[in-house]
Amino acid sequence: MIRIVSAELLLLGKRASTWILLGIWAALALTFAYVVPYVQYTNDPSRASLAELLPESLVGTLMAGFPFFGGVLALMLGVLTIGSEYGWGTLRTLFTQGPGRLQVFGAKLIAIAATLGMFVLVAYALGVVSSLAIAAAEGANVTWPSAWLLFRGLAGGWLIFAAWAALGMLLAILTRGTALATGIGILYAFVIEGLFSALAGEISVLDRLVEFFVRANGYSLVAVLGVSPDDVGDRGPGSFSGPFVGGSQATLVLAAYTAVFVVVAAWLLRRRDVV
């Protein structure tokens, strides 16, 4: 298994789209977590809080982007990892090398899980550097969040990414490609979940339904980690104003989504003809 995982890591590592997605993620995380708020703060200190830009608020400040644009980028990574194999016809090349279909899929899962881990770490590394730079520029004291909060932030960020990436893989296998899978994924994330969430306040029955959406649980998880609900309620296409659920439920629902998406994707991959 180690050798086929290394083959998958070679495939992801040499692929331009992996680095493009990572670059976009890093740029968006940096811009919306630190650059824009800091510019706002320097222009008008009453419109932004310096405390949120300092190392102590690292987890809360960074996590707001994970369920929003981070999730969509993870979805695209999931789609590309397996959807492109259909387009290039390489799935049949892999399936005739020796390892079974589920082993091939397992290797892809491990490789994508490691890549998502790298996405999370890059965001946190940028957060550390940016918050230190702001603290130095403003002459503020440097205090760090607790190791426990930091660990929960890293794990929570990875779990949110994993749920979206698993959805992307499932859609890619269902549609046997990348284009339709990406379209459906983005449509679902922004339009379907977004519209239902917006209507939930007006139609009470939707409240219960929205509580089980991927985005709702992602936002609920980051809210527990220090993201202010006000911060995510006014973010254009990615805004979310509730309903929020508890941290344990959010963790369980996201883990369940990840597991279900992976199991269904594996079942389809194993069962269907590869032409």
Using CB under 8 A, list all residues that contact another protein: 3-4, 6-7, 10-11, 14-16, 88-90, 92-100, 104, 273-275
Q: Tell me the torsion sign for CA atoms 51, 57, 61, 67.
A: negative
- Minimum CB separation from another protein for residue 92, in Å? 5
Residues in CB range of 258: below 8 A, 6 or more apart: 159, 162, 163, 166
Q: The tokens of 268 are what? A: 């389809």
Residues in CB range of 241: below 8 A, 6 or more apart: 197, 198, 201, 229, 232, 233
Among candidates 168, 214, 208, 222, which has minimal Cα distance to 193? 214
- Minimum CB separation from another protein for residue 105, in Å? 13
* 88 vs 144, beta carbon nearer another protein: 88
* 18 vs 175, beta carbon nearer another protein: 18
- Minimum CB separation from another protein for residue 75, in Å? 21
* 98 vs 236, beta carbon nearer another protein: 98
- Minimum CB separation from another protein for residue 222, in Å? 34
* 2 vs 205, beta carbon nearer another protein: 2
- Minimum CB separation from another protein for residue 181, in Å? 19
Question: ∠ at Cα 31 (47, 111), nearest 5°?
Answer: 140
CA distance 186 to 192: 9
Residues in CB range of 116: below 8 A, 6 or more apart: 74, 77, 158, 161, 162, 165
| 197-to-178, 214, 238, 249 alpha-carbon distances in Å | 27, 11, 11, 18
CA distance 16 to 60: 31
* 47 vs 271, beta carbon nearer another protein: 271
Torsion of CA 262, 268, 273, 275, to 10 degrees: -50
DSSP-derived letter for residue 178 is: S
* 1 vs 125, beta carbon nearer another protein: 1
- Minimum CB separation from another protein for residue 102, in Å? 11
- Minimum CB separation from another protein for residue 172, in Å? 16
- Minimum CB separation from another protein for residue 28, in Å? 24
* 12 vs 200, beta carbon nearer another protein: 12
* 79 vs 221, beta carbon nearer another protein: 79
